Structure 1
Amino acid sequence: MSDLIEALHAARESYVREDYASRVKQVFREHLELLEPDAEIEDTLYFNHSAIPDFKLTWGRGAKGKSSRDVFLRSSYAAVVAGNETAHITNGDPIFLSISADQVVEESGFAMTKADVSRAASHARYSLLTDAEAFKEIAAPAADDNPLSSAVRSNFLRGGRGLVDEPVAERLLLTGNGTGENVTDLIRETFFEDAVVRMERTALLVQWAMSPDTAMDVLARIDGAMSTDELRSVLPWLLGRATAPKGDDFWTALGSLFNFEQLESLASELNGMDLTRLVQANLRTWSAKRAYVGLNVDAEGNPVSPAESATDDDGTEPGGPDEESEVASSGWRFDSGTLGLALGSTMIRVSNSGYKLKARPGSSTPKWSVAVGRLDGFSLRSASISGIERAFRIDARESGNVKRDVETVVSSVEDSYFVSHVEVVLPGPDLGDEDAGAESASVDFAGGIVVAERAVQLGALTRAAANLLANEELDEEL
């Protein structure tokens, strides 16, 4: 791909009237395709016509498409200003693309200042006035993976408006790099309303991530629901930044913009990344249906020993009780398509998918005398108990907790009792207690899995799996 400015310069230097127009249009078409690979680009076969565009860009399927814009190539800003074109040509949300970037003209009979260019751009609300230098700046390959810079590029032709010359283009591409400029104001000045909606939330998140000390009122302006594509663009970048905010407020606000199902859909993009801060901040508001307890294995598939999991990254032992607890209860990551929490040699995986998490084949079940202690703190709706000579199931009819009933039966008839399944009560999403919005969850001891009838709080589901199946005591903070 040739440099836009150099290619235009070469076309002028070797000017041949018969092919100049086709050469210039071919150069611009190549760069339009680079910036908008998903757009249909129609060459009208006109060049620099006063009323007919040079190109028509269409986004969406079919000839009509979902949206379109007309592109008018002009030799200079002066041609646009002299013809008052931004006032006269308004259909098709036109883009006026000047080959020359000069905005000051002092000639006999005609003079133009930068103010004249700005005034021309302001005449039409849905017109974009730009030039080859700015276009080159926007279309250039990204120097980094900043999601806001990517959003500027992807929305420039479809949603740009007003005057975007080279200085404005540079400001737009730098908005996500900690320049201190009010990002949202610049976006509102430069893009259509629908593009602003797509970009503003990304802008605020990037601004906060680049400047963790930004005032808390930024968080209050982050709302709505993120699309999965938007999340895919922003989340890996946020998680990978060393300067990403460490406070729960940020991660809670971020987590409120999407749900756990969306997070699961990004499993491959987030594979291996540390999600601990994000997940822990949203344990009450996110929900899932399944939690599976299995072995914690390393990249080679070898079981991780408790000693290995309790060491710091440099191989040293944790410095004290608090640090040891932090190490043992951290490490939310995606692996093999599911989100998991490592607890020593145990891995607890959570998901909504019965395809991803299934009960394992097995017959080992704990004795009731062992399991009963783990049930402290849980409301027991039913229990399936089996002994050498007899088996029974006790269900709650009026009582909310049948634990005492099971104890009465077990103590009255001597036998060696094992428990295969219990049904416990877990809180539904967005609820802080089990009395309102509570849901039933079945605990399969032999299968190593907890399955809720309807989605329950992610934190409560994880604690149930850890406490009941792995005999790992987890507190509210995990």
Structure 2
Amino acid sequence: MPGNTLQDAVAAALNSSDQTDVIEGIKGAVISEIERLDPGVAIVDTDYFNHSYAPDLVLSWPGGKQEREVYLRYNLRSTQAGRDVDLLGGSAPVFFSLDSRHDDDAVAEDLRGDLEDESGALVTNAPAIDGFTSAEQTRDTGSVSEPLLNLFRRNVVRGGRGLLISGTAQRLQHTPTAGDVDEDISYLTTFEETITQIFRPEAATRLQRAVDIVRAARTGNTSLFEQPDDADERLRVIGGKLELDELRILLPYMLERANALDSDAFWQYVGGMISLKQLEQLAETIPLEDLNHLVVANLGTWRATRAIMSFSPEAVEEERPDPSWTVHAKLLAATAGAWRVHFTTDKRKGGSRDDSPLVRWEDIWPHLSTSPVSSVDMQGITRRVRVSAEDGSNVFADVDTISSTIEDDFRVRSVALRPSDDESSDLELDFKTMTVEGRKVLLGDLASAAFDVLGWRYPLSTDERTQILGRSALQRQQDKFITPRLLIEDRPAAEALELEGPDASEDDED
């Protein structure tokens, strides 16, 4: 694109003597500039140019039905003379002034008055857009202005309204002094006032939500998100779902300040707007190396379908790193003790081994006391036994009786555990593949089953388990622990008991 700014590119195109080159040059420059502002936008060229009622471009965004028409005009005066706002403003379009040399204050004030009656339309010009794209978009989260200004850029064309000229860009690009809390708070106030004035309600709401997050991250004050349920008058908390572009900007800012944001309520609020799939997508472009606060706070709400367990490469180091939640190999992963566990919402993702040794019942029964056991598949030298219950009964006692009375060298191939909630399916633990699978299983259930049962040979220490599963999870585990053998006589009988001969399965092991 000729020149360094949109104005330069437009001026170069207008100097061409060929009308086709003029149109292609101008449209190409505007499209490039819009894509710089909002990389997620899809742009359709209508093949019209400066038409009285047909748009030059049509913009749309993934995941929604929103479209926005863009009308290119040579200057603000032509927009005013054509009564564009009155005649076309009902669809909330964008009127884009290309040559700002005639965009004087008098014309701007007249348009401002017209726009007060039609709040959905946006009138802007090349200098204003240049003001937002002149500074490179960065992931430098050192100042509150950086994440918010990056989000502002992405929403200008999508949700802007009214008259947006260069003064707005100059006001918002003022960067507060590094480390000055008062200046940061003042900037946040200015930003809030600005978005209320120049954005349509849905865009203003998205940006206000970002302000709330940035303010909490900057000050450490999370009281907005920690209101008691019985509060007489609850403060405003904006929910919904964060889009991928919003997360790419906001999440690094939050994670860098995670230690100062030790509030489960705050991280649960953020986690309620994020999916595991988004975390996997984000990891392709930004580092996600310390997700402990975010993940631990949402172990009881996030859901996945599969956990794959393997030895951690760091386990052989003399000083193992602290337990951590990260995104590793494009999947959410928890590393603690000798283990690394990957989690996914798609059972097709994440390979697994098929040669892990099976385990003896007497080795794992102490680790099964905190969840009802719905089925167990055991392989012996001469028999294969599967014990299951259809009515929700706990078959723990039946398995224990069988393993201790039938003379065979039984090894456990798989165990099914009841989940901690009604929405999840049973958790299927496979010792041969070292996987846990289920439908819509709470992440905390998957993690506990993997570390506590599949990983029985190398259990986590108390501190490691606290860091990876949270204090509350650890306390619940300790409160529920009862030695199973003391309750064998009280366990209900299994509904189904299947005894099979040695030829029943091709993968029986000695």
Question: TM-score if structure 1 supplies the norm length?
Answer: 0.74
1:97-136 aligned within 5 A = 97=97, 99-100=100-101, 104=105, 112=106, 118-136=112-130
Q: 1:101–1:131: 8 Å Cα contact kept in structure 2? A: no
Select between 212-221 and 415-424 the one with higher mean Cα deviation.
212-221
Determine if contact 2:90/2:120 at 8 Å carries over to the other structure: no
Consecutive unaligned residues of structure 2, counting only runs of 5 or more, are 36-41, 140-145, 177-183, 227-234, 474-510
Matches within 5 A, 1:40-119: 40-41=44-45, 52=52, 56-60=56-60, 66-74=67-75, 86-87=85-86, 90=89, 93=93, 95=95, 97=97, 99-100=100-101, 104=105, 112=106, 118-119=112-113
Once the 2 structures are TM-superposed, how far is the Cα of residue 113 of structure 1 from its aligned partner?
Answer: 9.6
Task: Specify the alignment match of 1:107 in structure 2.
Answer: none
1:34 to 18, 22, 32: 32
CA distance in 2, matches of 1:28, 1:116: 26
For 1:305, the aligned partner's letter is V
- Call closer, same or farther: CA 1:446–1:236 in 2, change over 3 Å: same
Could you tell me which amino acid in structure 2 is paired with residue 225 of structure 1?
Answer: K
Give the deviation of 1:32 after TM superposition. 1.4
1:199 positional shift:
4.3
Q: Give the Cα separation in 2 of the matches to 1:421 and 1:20.
A: 75
Structure 1 pair 464/270, CA: closer, same or farther in 2 (3 Å)?
A: farther
Aligned 8 A contact 1:183 1:204 in 2:
no
CA drift of 1:279 comes to 0.6
The CA RMSD measured in Å over matched residues stands at 4.1
Residue 373 of structure 1: which of 366, 378, 393 is its match? 366
Asked if the contact 2:123/2:162 (under 8 Å) is kept, the reply is yes
Q: Which residue of 2 aligns with 1:181?
A: 189
Distance 1:26 1:266, change over 3 A: closer
Are the structure 2 counterparts of residues 352 and 128 from structure 1 closer, same or farther at C-alpha, using a change threshold of 3 Å? closer
May I ask how many residue pairs the two structures share in their alignment?
428
Residue 154 of structure 1 aligns to a residue whose secondary structure is helix
Report how far residue 126 of structure 1 moved: 3.0
| 1:164 aligned partner | 164
Partner in structure 1 of residue 289 of structure 2: 273
Quote the offset at 1:383 in angstroms. Answer: 1.8
Say if 2:450 is the partner of 1:465: yes
**Partners in 1 of 2:94 and 2:401 — Cα distance?**
81
> Which AA in structure 2 matches 1:189?
Q
Separation of aligned partners in 1, 2:380 and 2:225: 61
For 1:470 and 1:379, the matched residues in 2 are separated by 18
Aligned counterparts of 2:49 and 2:287: Cα–Cα separation in 1: 48
Which amino acid counterpart does residue 354 of structure 1 have in structure 2? K
Instruction: Report the 3-state secondary structure (helix = DSSP H, G, I; strand = E; otherwise coil) of the residue aligned with 1:304.
Output: helix
Equivalent of residue 142 in structure 1, options 125, 128, 136:
136
- Three-state SS of the structure 1 residue aligned to 2:284 is coil
Shift of 1:24: 8.8
Percent of aligned pairs sharing the same letter? 25
Is structure 2 residue 295 aligned with structure 1 residue 307?
Answer: no
Q: Distance in 2 between matches of 1:101 and 1:150?
A: 29
Distance in 1, matches of 2:374 and 2:103, equals 77
- Tell me how far 1:265 sits from its aligned partner: 4.0
- Report the Cα offset of residue 280 of structure 1: 0.6
Look up the equivalent residue of 1:259 and give its one-letter code: S
Tell whether the 8 Å contact from 1:381 to 1:401 is kept in structure 2 after alignment.
yes
Greater shift in the superposed pair: 23-32 or 157-166: 23-32
Q: Is the 8 A contact 2:5 2:134 kept in 1?
A: no
Structure 1's 379 and 42: CA in aligned 2 closer, same or farther, altered over 3 A? closer
1:392 is displaced (CA, Å) by 2.2
Please name the residue that 2:179 is paired with: none
Q: Which runs of 5+ in 1 are unaligned?
A: 105-111, 298-302, 311-326, 429-435
1:456 aligns with 2:472: no
The structural deviation recorded for 1:467 is: 0.8
- Note the alpha carbon deviations across 1:4-37, whole angstroms, 9 max, x for none: 48749988xxx99x96999997875454122224
2:154 aligned with 1:154, yes or no? yes
Partner letter of residue 100 of structure 2?
Answer: I
Separation in 2 of the partners of 1:8 and 1:287? 49
Flag the 1:21–1:160 CA change in 2: closer, same or farther, 3 A.
farther
- Which whole-Å deviations, capped at 9, do the CAs of 1:370-395 have from their partners, x for residues lacking one? 11112121211122233445442222
1:349 deviation in Å?
Answer: 1.7
Residue identity in the other structure for 2:301: T
* d(CA) in 2 for partners of 1:129, 1:402: 70
